[in-house]
Amino acid sequence: MRNYFFLSLLCVLFLTTCGEDDQPNPSTDDQLPPVPEVLDGPYTIEGASILKDGVPTYYKGVNTLQTFGLGDAELMNEWNVQIVREFIGNLREQPITEDAIQASDGVWYHGLQKIADRNRANDKITIFCPFGWVNEAGQQQLFTGLNPSEQPFYEAYKQKMKAIAEQFKDQPDVWIEVWNEPYSWNNSNGYTHDRWLVDMQDMVDNLRWVDGFQNIILVPGNEQDQSENALFEKGKELLEGRYNILFDLHAYEKWLVNTTEEELTDRLQAIADDDFAFIMGEVGVQNVGEVMPVQHFLDAAKATNTTTLAWLWNLNSDDKNALLTDDGQANATSDNNLWGSRFRDFLQD
């Protein structure tokens, strides 16, 4: 989402869709990847909890753009960032182990292994998440709002995701998210919870068929990830015969506007009470409209020990969602509801 930000990343759209009835067939039980008798750890999912060495824990962190260049690790440490979700805007050409390359869109991209190594050296968990695809002509298609299995690049997407899983299968502090913000914000364009289930089964199993890949896999909700309804309707079916699944939801208008801390606390707690492990993978003060209040959400996340990541760790004084100014200070003005200082306080509390 965050349309104003993505437009600055040269979003030239190309989209070929299938008919609404052309949905893939779900996996049958005998087609599921095997479940190990013992999970390697140290990071595992049990019920509604993220475990580290068997102990329930939660994290506070940020979304970053380190595929465009490594950030200031010391500054992240100073802010007490514990977990980072890494933006992959050109999945097709994204280097995995290589040094930086200049891709067909003219942008330089840095290797995922180098990013994971830097994060690990600073005691941070890494989440790699695909945000977009760039075709051979250099045209970018962002994933947000799309029906995954309908995309013409879907099979190529699966192959690249398996390659990433193969690289990081022995690095348990690297988690992989299958897709950023799928499906229409208002459940249009042929969306159904059955479609969500089939797509998520296919994308999760695609990674699990990589021999030895036990890392945590993140699965988004519906309505461009602002809704947990798909979890309540089909989440238990997705979890059947699968392991180390962590759900990811995003807090923008449908969480922040016309809500109270008490309402949000109840909403977050209801997800955990239904035995779903989840994080709030993005929260920011602006999405498609005006700047929104956010402190009530941060208070609710704190009250429920909900892993929460801010959008966005970026040095950009003109971007209301950027946590940092051009010179690396907290980006906190009346124009962005003191966002930078509010989230810095949340990280350090």
Question: How would you write the pLDDT of the chain (349 residues) with one tens digit per residue?
Answer: 554 444 444 333 333 333 334 444 444 445 899 999 999 999 999 999 999 999 999 999 999 999 999 999 999 999 999 999 999 999 999 999 999 999 999 999 999 999 999 999 999 999 999 999 999 999 999 999 999 999 999 999 999 999 999 999 999 999 999 999 999 999 999 999 999 999 999 999 999 999 999 999 999 999 999 999 999 999 999 999 999 999 999 999 999 999 999 999 999 999 999 999 999 999 999 999 999 999 999 999 999 999 999 999 999 999 999 999 999 999 999 999 999 999 999 999 9
Neighbours of 117 (CB within 10 A): 14
- Give the predicted TM-score (pTM) of the model: 0.92
Distance of alpha carbon 190 from alpha carbon 73, whole angstroms: 43
Rg (CA), the chain: 19
d(CA 323, CA 310): 8
Q: Distances from the Cα of 193 to the Cαs of 76, 190, 233, 245, 294, in angstroms?
A: 38, 10, 7, 18, 29
Contact (CB, 8 A) for 108 and 97: no
HSE-up of 260 (CA within 13 Å, CB side)?
A: 3
Does the domain spanning 3-16+45-348 belong to CATH 3.40.50.10800? Answer: no
CA-to-CA distance for 282 and 62, rounded, in angstroms?
8
CA atoms within 13 A on the CB side of 317: 5
How far is C-alpha 152 from the geometric centre of its chain's CA atoms? Answer: 22
Rounded Cα distance, 302 and 306, in Å: 6
Measured in Å, how far apart are the chain's first and last C-alpha atoms?
28
